[in-house]
Structure 1
Amino acid sequence: MTELTTDHETYPGLDSLRGIAAIMVVGTHVAFWAGHYTHGILGAMTSRLDLGVAFFFVLSGFLLGHPFLLAMAEQRQLPATGRYLWKRALRIVPLAVIVTVAALALLDDNAGATLGTWVRNLTLTALYIDGTLPAGLTHMWSLATEIAFYLVLPILMWAFARLLCRRGWNPRGIYLALAALCVVNVVWLVEVAPHRIGAGQWLPAYLSWFSVGLAYAVMTIERRRPGGRDRYQFWTTLAAMPGTCWVLALALFAIAATPIGGPILLQAPTHTEAVSKNLLYAVIAGLIVLPSVLGPTTGTRYARLMGNRVLRHVGHISYGIFCLHLIVLHAVSSQLDLPVFQGNGWQLFGATLAVTLVLSEIAYRVVERPSMRLKNLRISRSKTHAAAAATDATTHH
């Protein structure tokens, strides 16, 4: 995979953050399996490593929203929705299908899965039908939510272009719209999520996280415009101090691990707890992502660290890590005879991560990269048809 890019810049640090986020997700699930959540403040912090999902959502908002927003700023036509969705499908669907089939077919806990279970999970719609997910696939709720964002994004960007930027680039209007999405997020958590099974994991419950990424996309566009660096001096100064960003993020993370962030096990949170955790995660993820978006991408120790080839490669295979790790966790715990809630967290984490990294590397080379080579297939076909039509017209003329 090449560097994460927008139209004019590259952001190598975002690869590394994606790898860190994937490992955090592995860590929180292993800690749950080992029964570590209830072991004091450190155990509570392992329960909050699901923060990795917030990283993924912020990154998606930034990287996927940027091309649309840049087109608005430059008064160009928005990117073609068909091509955008084709690339997203190639990126997500092949490995998701393989992992779903493997989990349903190989895990004993899923023996006797009905046809309906297969259909709901292969289409990633279980979250919206009965709210339950089978063993080895419980983490796929976040993929279903991310796909919902993929589908909504072109509509949202069309609305921004038509309603907010019709007479020219309007960053203030976009910021206000993103703030409104955050309000929708809060209202959803308070008024809808408690009354509908699974609704707390639907897209509206995470609009604040995606909005942070979209806001960063606007900032990167704005700072290249005349006077942009002066208008965003606070943000660029903060981004140039990654140590400060991380310290602030860790302090907020510690707060999120207290009862302010809600229960550490699977009990339903109160309205206040749900909103507090959601917004804390948005701010924490925003602080961690900020230096790699608005800060220097070369020439500093932090930039060199985040641009490390090994760490970036972990980011390249992070989708495989995310998809595969729960199946591996089930298999490893069975092979090593490490029952659920019986401790051995470090042993279980080391074995699970090692096996997952190997399988993810294989998946990256055998499934993901070959699939992404098809991203220009539709364009190639269109060019072929256009060339044939031109030749035919010339011949007849």
Structure 2
Amino acid sequence: MTTPGTSGVEVSPQFPVLDTLRAIGALAVLTTHTSFQTGEYLGNGVGGTLLARLDVGVAIFFVLSGFLLSRAWLARQALGLPRPGLSTYYEKRALRILPVYLVVVVIAYLFVGGNEDAGVGNWLSSTVLIDSFVGKSLPYGLTHMWSLAVEATFYLVLPVLMVAVRPRRSGRSLAGLLGAMLLLSVLWLALSPHLDTNVAGSPGLWLPAYLTWFAAGIGLAAVHVAHQQGSTTWVVQQVVALGRLPGVCWSLAIGLLLVAATPLAGPTLLEASSVTESITKHLLYAGIGTLLVLSGVFTAPGTYSRVMAWQALRHLGHISYSVFCVHLAVLAGAFHLTGVEVFTGHGLLIWTTTLVLSLAASEVLYRVVEMPALRLQGRLRRHESVATSTTSPDTTATTR
């Protein structure tokens, strides 16, 4: 629901285009994974490299998260309202990601080949989403969940990051925060080869390596709130003007993707071979994610907004989280169903099979798992408040 403030700032505005962009990010990730496992990366020139670079879908997710989650904090600050309650915030985040994730963990361990020897420790580390913190590899069917662990870590630290934005010096403190996040990411990427060798787990897959992408989303959120407040600063005006030109945003994003497909961003395979290539790829992906999300933040009425806000496309965005979670387990099943061996081609067949089955499975997960879990939001806290009120009225008054 949209809640306008007296200054023009809305606490909970709707961004229909972002739903469709979320679906595009999930489709990009599904496509890059199917292309890798069918061997389409190699032997197809620039086309194969572009397929490899569709892992930029993760950058889109992270910029989206940075924007959508931080905006609520920044808007409330601009209106002089209290910060979001931590119990409510963490409950929403947990109910949003954990139910479907836990279902997929069970599917992967029971039905995806390669996990037959998994022990209690493996099950436990996957259940609590710490595989990338304790090992160098992730279970089959769950290898993409490192990014969900990064998301979850960002959820945990976001309230702390928002505390760093001082109300009376919000511009300066925000700039300092975003600069620090960018600097830490670059330093982390520079140190990643050393960390991966000397630290348990996979430090290259931890939050510090991706803070730039979240910072980009936070920056967009700050611009959006400032724009609603009536700011006419040069930065705000230029960002808003660019956001109202979605064709330009997409053209620039595609241009950056083409640059990312050159040797500047490293080889075709998943990991860059040098620190310079890794940082270059990281910054190019930050630009792509920012431009695409920007096209959905300040969208002006027109063909782009009408098409991207089409309900069928938005629904794909609604089920995109389930698509992301389940598609690797489905991909393993697609190879089994078609009789195709891994890395032997038939990319279009495997992609089509995986997409159709993933959409079908995600529709079920969305209706049977996601929606019921989301409807639980607030119930546990309300039950706790009722129970507390029967024993300690004074405490209840305080907690409310």
Alignment of 1:279-290 (within 5 A): 279-290=283-294
Q: 2:368 aligns with which of 358, 366, 369?
A: 366
Tell me the alpha carbon deviations over residues 283-341 of structure 1, each in whole angstroms, 9 at most, x when there is no partner: 01101111211232xx2111101101111000000010000000110011111011111
Q: 2:328 aligns with which of 319, 326, 329?
A: 326
- Percent same amino acid at aligned positions? 39
Residues 34, 343 of structure 1: 8 Å contact kept:
yes
Aligned mates of 2:25, 2:19 — CA distance in 1: 10
SS of the equivalent of 2:376 reads: helix
The question of 1:64 aligning with 2:69 is answered yes
Tell me the alpha carbon deviations over residues 359-379 of structure 1, each in whole angstroms, 9 at most, x when there is no partner: 000000000000000112134
The question of 1:18 aligning with 2:22 is answered yes
Residues 54, 285 of structure 1: 8 Å contact kept:
yes
Alignment of 1:1-397 (within 5 A): 7-38=11-42, 39-160=44-165, 164-165=166-167, 168=168, 170-196=170-196, 198-228=202-232, 232-296=236-300, 299-381=301-383, 384-385=386-387
Counterparts in 2 of 1:239 and 1:387: CA distance versus 1, 3 Å = same
Gaps of 5+ in 1: none
SS of the equivalent of 1:110 reads: coil
How many residue pairs get matched?
Answer: 383
Counterparts in 2 of 1:227 and 1:329: CA distance versus 1, 3 Å = closer
Counterparts in 2 of 1:10 and 1:134: CA distance versus 1, 3 Å = same
More deviation in 203-212 or 228-237? 228-237
Alpha-carbon deviation of 1:281? 0.2
In structure 2, give the amino acid aligned to 1:241. Answer: L
Residues 75, 169 of structure 1: 8 Å contact kept:
no
Residues 262, 273 of structure 1: 8 Å contact kept:
yes
Counterparts in 2 of 1:35 and 1:223: CA distance versus 1, 3 Å = same
Alpha-carbon deviation of 1:390? 6.3
Residues 236, 295 of structure 1: 8 Å contact kept:
no
Aligned mates of 2:146, 2:30 — CA distance in 1: 15
Aligned mates of 2:179, 2:164 — CA distance in 1: 15
Alpha-carbon deviation of 1:268? 5.0
Alpha-carbon deviation of 1:235? 1.1
SS of the equivalent of 2:222 reads: helix
SS of the equivalent of 2:136 reads: coil
In structure 2, give the amino acid aligned to 1:30. Answer: T
TM-score between both structures, scaled by the size of structure 1: 0.92
Aligned mates of 1:231, 1:48 — CA distance in 2: 30
- Stretches of 4+ aligned residues off by more than 4 angstroms: 385-391
Aligned mates of 2:181, 2:151 — CA distance in 1: 16
TM-score between both structures, scaled by the size of structure 2: 0.91
Counterparts in 2 of 1:227 and 1:93: CA distance versus 1, 3 Å = closer
Aligned mates of 1:253, 1:352 — CA distance in 2: 24
Q: Which residue of 1 aligns with 2:7?
A: none
For the aligned residue pairs, the C-alpha RMSD in angstroms reads: 2.1
Aligned mates of 2:118, 2:237 — CA distance in 1: 56
In structure 1, give the amino acid aligned to 2:179. Answer: A
In structure 2, give the amino acid aligned to 1:88. Answer: R
Tell me the alpha carbon deviations over residues 118-141 of structure 1, each in whole angstroms, 9 at most, x when there is no partner: 111111111011121011010001
In structure 2, give the amino acid aligned to 1:247. Answer: S
Tell me the alpha carbon deviations over residues 249-280 of structure 1, each in whole angstroms, 9 at most, x when there is no partner: 10110010111111222455210011000010
More deviation in 89-98 or 66-75? 66-75
Residues 223, 229 of structure 1: 8 Å contact kept:
no
